[in-house]
Chains A and B, each alone.
Chain A
Amino acid sequence: MVKPVFFFETIIWQPTTLCNMNCRYCYLPGKENPHTVSDNTVRNLAKSIDEVVARHTFVKDSSVTLVWHGGEPLTLGKSRFAEILEILSPLYEKGVLRHSIVTNGTLIDDEWVALFKKYQFEVGVSLDGPEWANINRVDKDLRPAFRRIMKGIDCLRKHNYPFYILAVVTPDNLNKGKEIYNFLASTGAHLIGFNFVEQEGAHQQRVHWDREKVVRFWQDLYLAWKSNPETQVREFDSFYKWVSIVLSRGTDEEMPVYMDLVPTVSWTGKVTILSPELATTFGESDEFVVGDINRESLGTILQRAIRENRFVKEYLEGVNLCQSVCPYFDYCLGGTPANKYFENGSLRTTETQYCRVKKQWFLDALFETLSI
Chain B
Amino acid sequence: MSKEQVRHRVFKGRKRLETELRQLNQYINGQEKHYHLWGNRSGDKPSFNKWSKFDKSWDDWSNTFQKVR
Taking beta carbons and an 8 Å cutoff, which residues of A are in contact with B?
5, 7, 9-10, 55-61, 65, 67, 191, 193, 226, 228-230, 232, 234-235, 237-238, 240-248, 251, 255-256, 258-260, 262, 326-331, 333, 336, 363, 367, 370-372
Contacts and interface: CB of A to CB of B under 8 A. Distances in A.
A248 B42 CA distance: 11
What bracket does the count of chain B residues touching chain A fall in? 35 or more
A83 B62 CA distance: 39
A214 to B, nearest CB: 17
Contacts of B30: none
Interface in B26-57: 27-28, 35-39, 46, 48, 50-57
Nearest to B27: A229
Interface of B is mostly: helix
A246 B48 contact: no
B59 to A, nearest CB: 6
B46 A244 contact: yes
B10 A7 contact: no
A248 B16 contact: no
A372 B38 contact: no
A230 B13 CA distance: 24
Given A327-B5, A328-B6, 17 more contacts: A7-B68, A9-B52, A10-B53, A234-B54, A234-B55, A238-B52, A240-B21, A240-B35, A240-B37, A244-B37, A244-B39, A245-B59, A251-B7, A258-B56, A330-B7, A333-B58, A372-B16
B61 A243 contact: no
Contact of A327 (B3, B68, B69): B3
Contacts of A244: 36-39, 46
B6 A230 contact: no
A173 to B, nearest CB: 21
A69 B15 CA distance: 41
A372 B13 contact: yes
A260 to B, nearest CB: 5
Contacts of A56: 67-69
Nearest to A253: B7
B65 A5 contact: yes
